[in-house]
Chains A and B, each alone.
Chain A
Amino acid sequence: MTNPYVIQPATIVEKIREAEHIHTYRLQLVDEEVRRTFRFKAGQFNMVYVFGVGEVAISIVSDPDEPEFLNHTIRAVGRITKAIAALQSGDVLGIRGPFGQGWPLDEARGRNVVIVTGGLGCAPVVGAIEYIFKRREQYGSIKILHGVKTPHDLLYRERFDQWRRAPDTEVLLASGQPDKTWSYHIGVVTELFEEVAIDSMKSIVLMCGPEIMMRLGVPILMRRGIPETAIYLSLERHMECGIGLCGHCQMGPYFLCKDGPVMRYDRVAQWLGQTGV
């Protein structure tokens, strides 16, 4: 019987500043055998551990084809993420994972992909975008709609620029509180739906960010004719174990750590937006 609680040490190879209090940590598992066999899917997450402090669930943002490196973008916001922020290159963190269901990238093959994200919520989908671009010919058009509160919250800025230049790809950005430098849409991300043509029967939607964005955004997409079975959401709840045992991440009958975090909309529609769920 394998022990799902064992934590694997991982060295911080690089710590990249993304924005204030937000860094991407490039990690490498210390144990060679573990490193060699570690595989993950875009959209899955790891429990990231700090010695003497504890664990926190963080999505993997790096390319699943380079599993020897694991990138995690982390905002210093709570007890454990603040302890992570105090670490530097060369320090050792712990990793337990990968956990959960990733994005439906096989199902998305041959279809147009619409990616809708908000704030730091774009992190879990970055790996999926990279995956698609590496196999560009297998997918249809790509539309990336990303909303931030202020321009300072725009992470991976150079990647958005890079994606924008790719063939058959549109990148639309929105900011609710723009500054003078902002040359994109002013408002919320769901308003960007008006600016793109979406072939409703050929498209698959990957959505990630605040739940309010999903609750407001999904009905608009459905009015545009996109079936609810073509809309996927990456959802967030308190997660401690990663294996559906600790009980915290429940949403209706689901344990989002193992049944999610990526869920098809029709499966969670009943619970999304209900208070206290």
Chain B
Amino acid sequence: MAMAREIGVLPRVDLQRLLDALSAKGYRIVGPTVRDGAVVWETVRSVSDLPVGWRDHQEPGRYRLEQTGSQEVFGVVHGPQSLKQFVFAPREPLLQIERTKDGFVTRPTLPQSEKVAIIGARACDLAGLAVQDRIFLKDFHSDPYYAARREGLFLVAVNCTRALNTCFCASMETGPRAKHGFDLALSELDDQLLIEAGSEAGRDLLSNLCLSRGSEQLSAEAATRVDACAQSQVRRLDHSRLPQALYDAHEHPRWDEVASRCLACTNCTMVCPTCFCHTVEETPDLSYQHTTHARLWDSCFTQEHGYIHGKNMRPTIKDRYRMWLTHKLASWIDQFGASGCVGCGRCITWCPVGIDLTEELPALLSPGIQPSIVRQRVDGM
């Protein structure tokens, strides 16, 4: 099937043509940009806004960018942000409520569906988005706010050819190649970009660009690089015994050990592409005539998350870390038919103390006290 797919070749120096074609279709283009020593999603207008020549190096608790001086456009794998913020907004006003003489009136504040083309999404990001789709769109209560934002997205994926020290998508079977869920997928091969369409909208855009067809040799080269990327991943997560093995590990002493390191800072849940917990905030104005009812990202690491009238179901950090990891890797499977982990490694990188779930899981699934874990570390620097 892969050979039958239509693949075009765009010289890297002509990447602006793709951006222009998307703009011409009415999309606001969002891509990775360098800001404050990290890569974040921003509106981009030209290729020069993209992190040309930059590479990221990630390790537990560490994120560094390096300028290599090359012409590589998609050398940075990812920053702290997944695609989550584009659909499940960090703060989503749900209702405006106005006091009236008979009580109040409620007005839903659905976001305007905006055409946004995101360029540079990785396979793990697409997998994370697919998980969020299952949560917000597949149930009988589809979320209209999420749906409105989701509708306008055009996704330009980039196949990964370089693995970070923290990546383990290969073991989660979510990457490094983007297999589905994209409109276009790019492979950056030195000075050429292979572009593959994954949807009708993608095929339409691809035909507008009138590219020369990619040779089988180029496709094979791209596949080789993606395979090499998968092979080079130093972390893996064996999920074959989940969910039950983690349910059974509820009283494992390792939870105490990891809790002694965890700061309950919530970083892992904020950077996770799939975490969906949210709370509702009520913000009345000074006149108390008008109030905004909004939802905000929440985290199971907060004191309030497990609170019920006068009691906290999860008072200790141990309770909360166990809640998070057990949900992410085990109960998520029962709830949504898939793991809550896509192997992006962000929770490892952005944990201030470098807690690594690929290290915690095997420790929790082995009998007895903490085994010593020997792992080959390959430093990207």
Q: Which residues of A contact B (CB under 8 A)?
A: 1-9, 11, 30, 51-55, 75, 77-78, 81, 92, 94, 236-238, 240-241, 243-248, 250, 252-253, 255, 270, 274-277
Contact = CB atoms under 8 A, between A and B. Distances in A.
Contacts of A252: 247, 331, 334
Contacts of A55: 280
Contacts of A244: 139, 141
A240 B103 CA distance: 22
B282 A54 contact: yes
B250 A245 contact: no
B288 to A, nearest CB: 6
Contacts of A75: 309
B104 A247 contact: no
B308 A236 contact: yes
Nearest to A239: B308
Contacts of B97: 7, 51
A101 to B, nearest CB: 13
Nearest to B280: A240
Given A7-B97, A247-B276, A276 B300 contact: no
Given A250-B327, A276-B316, A9 B104 contact: yes
B90 interface: no
B144 A1 contact: yes
A277 B335 CA distance: 16
Contacts of B142: 1
B284 A246 contact: no
A54 to B, nearest CB: 4
Interface in B272-290: 276-280, 282, 284, 288
Nearest to B95: A5
Interface centre among B139, B282, B314, B323 (most CB of A within 10 A): B282
Given A238-B305, A276-B313, A276-B323, A245 B279 contact: no
A238 B141 contact: no
Interface in B304-336: 305-310, 313-316, 318-320, 322-323, 327, 331, 334-335
Contacts of A1: 142, 144, 147
7 shortest interchain CB distances as A-B pairs:
A276-B319, A92-B103, A247-B277, A253-B334, A52-B284, A243-B141, A9-B103
A5 B139 contact: no
5 contacts: A7-B106, A8-B106, A51-B97, A246-B298, A248-B279
Contact of B310 (A5, A77, A247): A77
B291 A52 contact: yes
B306 A54 contact: no
